[in-house]
Amino acid sequence: MKKNHRIILFHVIFWLVYMLISTLIEFALNPKDYAFSIGDFFFSQFANICTFYLCIFVFAKYVSPLKIIPLIIAIIAVYLFSYVHWFVTAYHIRPLIKANGGPTATFHVWTFAVAVLWLYIKYSFFAFGYYYSNETIKHQKRLRIIEKEKHHAEYAFLRAQINPHFLNNTLNFFYAKSLPLSSELADGIMTLSEIMHYSLKQDREDETTLIEEEIAHIRNVININQLRFNHELQVNFEAHGRTTNARIIPLILITIVENVLKHGNCTDESNPAKIILNISEEEGYVQLRTYNAKKKGPKELSSGIGMKNIRKRLSHHYGKDYRLSIQETETDYTLEMILYQIYHNKATAYNTSDHPPLFQPVNTKPQYPLP
């Protein structure tokens, strides 16, 4: 049984049991005066149940985050609904079904309003208790998930730290041994050592890294892949603009570049993959644009975790101060990402509406339009 179905079944059973107990208690207190009618019973309880769920809806919509004026208006609206329903039930429906002998007293507005208010307060408190307990359970569940993710991250971090000095020393040993044999092999080992050193680097101040370090890392990854494929990769990487003091969160750019290398057709001389990085010191943003033709034939399986992780990290660090857009066809894949506030030592004020549009030329020159 699906979770939603179980919740609905639980609520139905709860209200049936609640109404049964309420009926038995009322009958036990007034066995002589109590005249049971299914119709009267249904219409009486229907107002209470509606009040309960309407209040839950109101609390869920306006309590977190707190919106005082809409909350007050919604509470009054639910009370008016309850008032009208009880009025129609007591003074129009009951006489028709002849339950409890119809209205037993002359209608008084304020007396009736207070009676309905008491029922409204009672069931709104029930609703708030349910809402609060439900939110508490959700909050505890989120905390458990966060704690679990934290443990996984710590475990992954420990696994990644399997003596990086040992790995570096080993690679340096291989580098020294390979120098007399092949300079190309030695350069590849040194490049791999630099890639691993950057990936395992821990001293990331404020969770950011210098863009120039990220650019060097991108060049190393492209170079090591060129060695793998005997320098047959057709990948054009260009970086323009001043990189001094510009910082971004680490390993974001390289994840996108690796996506191009993995899924793109990077062996076509007439249609090479393009990776273009523009940094604007004046406007305080960095723009990454990538283009690649898709591989023909069977596609590699992709979980999409890489792009999901990128969006999650960007949202966590930059909030709304980034833009990421993907244009994909059957043959081509184009990505554009713009990150703002990359100069942490500058207080640049800007509006989101001032951001350069995606897939349009920005003010950094020279521009290299993608296909």
**Strand, coil or helix: 361:** coil
Q: Is the pLDDT of residue 278 over 70?
A: yes
Residue with tokens 């910082």: 247
Can you give the residue ranges of every domain in the chain? 35-157, 233-354
* pLDDT reported for residue 170: 80
Q: Model confidence over 86-112: pLDDT tens digits? A: 777 777 666 665 544 444 445 566 777
Rounded percentage of the chain residues whose pLDDT exceeds 90: 13
Q: Is the pLDDT of residue 357 over 80?
A: no
Q: Is the pLDDT of residue 189 over 80?
A: yes
List strands edge to edge, sheet with 235-240.
Answer: 235-240, 273-280, 285-293, 332-340, 322-328
Q: Is the pLDDT of residue 249 over 60?
A: yes
CATH for the stretch 233-354: 3.30.565.10
Q: Is the pLDDT of residue 298 over 70?
A: no
Show the tokens assigned to 303.
């979980």
- Rounded mean pLDDT of 207-232? 88
Q: Is the pLDDT of residue 370 over 70?
A: no
Q: Which amino acid is at 366?
A: P
**Strand, coil or helix: 229:** coil
* pLDDT reported for residue 108: 64
Q: Average model confidence (pLDDT) for the chain?
A: 77
Q: Model confidence over 120-143: pLDDT tens digits? A: 888 888 888 888 888 888 889 888
Q: Which of 305, 161, 310, 197 is nearest to 249 (CA)?
A: 310
- Whole-structure pTM value: 0.52
Q: Which of 301, 282, 257, 305 is nearest to 363 (CA)?
A: 282
* pLDDT reported for residue 171: 78
Residue with tokens 């109590």: 34
| Distance (Å, whole) CA 219 – CA 137 | 48
Least confident of 179-183, 207-211, 231-235, 344-348: 344-348
Beta-bridge partners for 325: 336
| Distance (Å, whole) CA 251 – CA 331 | 27
- Rounded mean pLDDT of 240-263? 87
Q: Is the pLDDT of residue 150 over 80?
A: no
Residue 356: band (very low, low, confident or very high) from pLDDT cuts 50, 70, 90: very low
Least confident of 8-22, 32-46, 187-201, 207-221: 32-46
Q: Is the pLDDT of residue 46 over 70?
A: yes
Q: Is the pLDDT of residue 199 over 70?
A: yes
| Distance (Å, whole) CA 192 – CA 189 | 5
Higher pLDDT residue, 29 or 235? 235
- What are all long-range contacts of 172-178, with beta carbons under 8 Å and residues at least 24 apart? none
- Rounded mean pLDDT of 149-158? 70
Query: b or e along 41-51 (b: 16 or more beta carbons within 10 Å of the residue's beta carbon)?
Result: eebbeebbeeb
Helix intervals (H) in the chain: 3-29, 38-62, 68-88, 94-97, 109-160, 164-178, 183-199, 211-228, 252-263, 305-318
